[in-house]
Amino acid sequence: MMNNLQLSRTGAASLSPSPIVEINGQLKYKSDCMTPEYFARSPFTIELYGDRVRVDHFVPILPDANSAIQYSDRLVELGAAIAEGPGEWPNEFCPEDEPFPDDLAMYFISFVLPAGGILVLLAPHAPHDRLDRDRRASGDNAVPHIAIQVNDMHSAAQHWRQKGFIPLSAQPQDDGCLCQWFLRNWAGQVIELIRRQPGGQDTFSCQNIRGLRLSEVEQ
Ligand SMILES: [Fe+2]
């Protein structure tokens, strides 16, 4: 996408800086990239663990729901469109399902950004819930997971295995529209491999979430 590209002095197109850095296997958002202004224009093709990947969705965590609402309002001012939520995930999104463990619930909003990428905003749904504890342990700039678009789920998983990532469930979650698989590396960093139907904007489905969220937090 042209708005992700910058022209160097020689006139050659190069990628804008990634909002993410890797530190000993863990991913962190750069502090100056944790803003609505940055994400509204962020590149989605970035370098990650030595690969050039296409990010499906970035997932920053905010301290609480009020912070997420303010952040959301600013993103909308900048041209983002709310795609999913806001609400308490997953029980307000999939109310017909068996209730989810309350400790694992989250405040959730997703956006389609002006350039077409997806941003998922998370916040603890209650003080000291699992996400709050994880955020306090990992810091304000934690990357709970990053979703990478893939075409062939099993060959992509094999590729990431060779980089030290281990799948968190025996098989990907696949509802026919979204196919998703979480993997974790030696440093505890989780990535999500995602294959979606063209044009889809969902970042979860009620069929997939239980297995995904449970595998993401499994120790
Ligand atoms: Fe995700």
pLDDT per residue over 51-99, tens digit each? 999 999 999 999 999 999 999 999 999 999 999 999 999 889 988 777 7
Does residue 189 contact residue 168 with C-beta atoms inside 8 Å?
A: no
Residue 1 counted as domain residue = no
The enclosing domain of 171 has a CATH number of: 3.10.180.10
CA of 15 to the centre of ligand 1 (A): 23
CA of 26 to the centre of ligand 1 (A): 17
Residue 9 counted as domain residue = no
Residue 114 counted as domain residue = yes
Query: Domain span at residue 115?
Result: 18-217
CA–CA separation, 189 vs 60, rounded Å? 14
Residue 11 counted as domain residue = no
Residue 73 counted as domain residue = yes
CA of 203 to the centre of ligand 1 (A): 6
Task: Give strand ranges (E) for 102-151.
Answer: 106-112, 118-124, 146-149
CA of 119 to the centre of ligand 1 (A): 9
What is the DSSP pairing of strand 26-29 with strand 20-23? antiparallel
Confidence of residue 6 (pLDDT cuts 50, 70, 90): very low
CA of 192 to the centre of ligand 1 (A): 6
Please give the angle made by the CA atoms of 107, 111 and 116, to the nearest 5 degrees.
155
> Which pTM was predicted?
0.89
Residue 2 counted as domain residue = no
CA of 111 to the centre of ligand 1 (A): 12
How many domains, in total, are found in the chain? Answer: 1
pLDDT tens digit string along 99-129?
788 999 999 999 999 988 999 999 999 999 9
Residue 13 counted as domain residue = no
Residue 125 counted as domain residue = yes
CA of 7 to the centre of ligand 1 (A): 31
